[in-house]
Chain A
Amino acid sequence: GENVEQHPSTLSVQEGDSAVIKCTYSDSASNYFPWYKQELGKRPQLIIDIRSNVGEKKDQRIAVTLNKTAKHFSLHITETQPEDSAVYFCAATANRDDKIIFGKGTRLHILP
């Protein structure tokens, strides 16, 4: 079955700098890769996603890149702000009527 590895588990960056979180997946059939943000005490919420027919997607300060050959995808946050402090989860899915496999999460700290 699918396995999703996420790194790093914790990341601290200075406010205004960029943050990068990486995920690798094992199932070459996976074709949908969402990223969720979970603020302290809140529920996870989708921030960006990418499908396997696209190599990169951007939404303001957030971007996701996908390398199907290497089976890895990354979340890039530029010009980080205090409100970016949260836990971020990547996930991978293959068929629409199948399970969702999440990474173990990255706790991002934005330092003042």
Chain B
Amino acid sequence: EAQVTQNPRYLITVTGKKLTVTCSQNMNHEYMSWYRQDPGLGLRQIYYSMNVEVTDKGDVPEGYKVSRKEKRNFPLILESPSPNQTSLYFCASSLSAGNQETQYFGPGTRLLVL
């Protein structure tokens, strides 16, 4: 089944404790990105990647890191999480036309930073 998966789905952590949220797609998509969703602010792009070893900042990259060592995986890293990073996070991927094709979203990861 073609899909985007994220893990974990729910995470409670404390300020400063490094964490990684994994994202994987099995559709051979080139474009992958991370979003955060907050009430009243909609979906905001954190980072995106056009292909392996190519990553770029979205609108809200501060406090986040990503890597794209393999085409299928695009992990989101919070080196030192803070309470303002409490949010719902979505990973998404799309075909070779990048941001101008359908974005397929993962199920979301709800993060609470205490």
Contact yes or no, A96 B102, CB < 8 A: no
A98 close to B (CB within 8 Å)? yes
Which B41-64 residues have C-beta < 8 A from chain A? 41-45, 48, 50, 56, 58-59
Give A contacts to B, CB under 8 Å.
Answer: 1, 6, 9, 31-32, 34, 36, 43-46, 49, 51, 89, 91, 93, 95-105
List 15 additional A-B contacts (Cβ < 8 Å) besides A89-B42, A102-B42: A34-B103, A44-B103, A45-B105, A46-B103, A91-B43, A97-B98, A97-B99, A98-B99, A99-B45, A99-B48, A100-B103, A101-B45, A102-B43, A102-B44, A105-B42
Please, how many residues of chain B have a CB less than 8 angstroms from a CB on the other chain?
24
Contact yes or no, A96 B99, CB < 8 A: yes
Contact yes or no, B56 A96, CB < 8 A: no
Other-chain contact of A44, B43, B98, B100 (Cβ < 8 Å) = B43
Q: Which of B35, B42, B90 has the most CB of A within 10 A?
A: B42
B14 close to A (CB within 8 Å)? no
Number of A-B contacts (CB under 8 A): 64
Other-chain contact of B102, A31, A34, A97 (Cβ < 8 Å) = A34
CA of A38 to CA of B42, assembled, Å: 11
Contact yes or no, A44 B90, CB < 8 A: yes
CA of A67 to CA of B46, assembled, Å: 29
B106 close to A (CB within 8 Å)? yes
Looking at the assembled complex, report how far the CB atom of A81 sits from the nearest CB atom of chain B, in whole angstroms.
23
Looking at the assembled complex, report how far the CB atom of A61 sits from the nearest CB atom of chain B, in whole angstroms.
20
Contact yes or no, B40 A104, CB < 8 A: yes
Other-chain contact of A43, B41, B48, B90, B99 (Cβ < 8 Å) = B90
Other-chain contact of B41, A49, A95, A104 (Cβ < 8 Å) = A104
B19 close to A (CB within 8 Å)? no
CA of A112 to CA of B45, assembled, Å: 35
Looking at the assembled complex, report how far the CB atom of A108 sits from the nearest CB atom of chain B, in whole angstroms.
14
As a 0/1 sequence over residues 86 to 114 of chain B, the CB contacts with chain A under 8 angstroms (1 = contact) are 00001000000111101101111000000
Looking at the assembled complex, report how far the CB atom of B54 sits from the nearest CB atom of chain A, in whole angstroms.
8
Nearest residue, chain A, Cβ from B105: A43
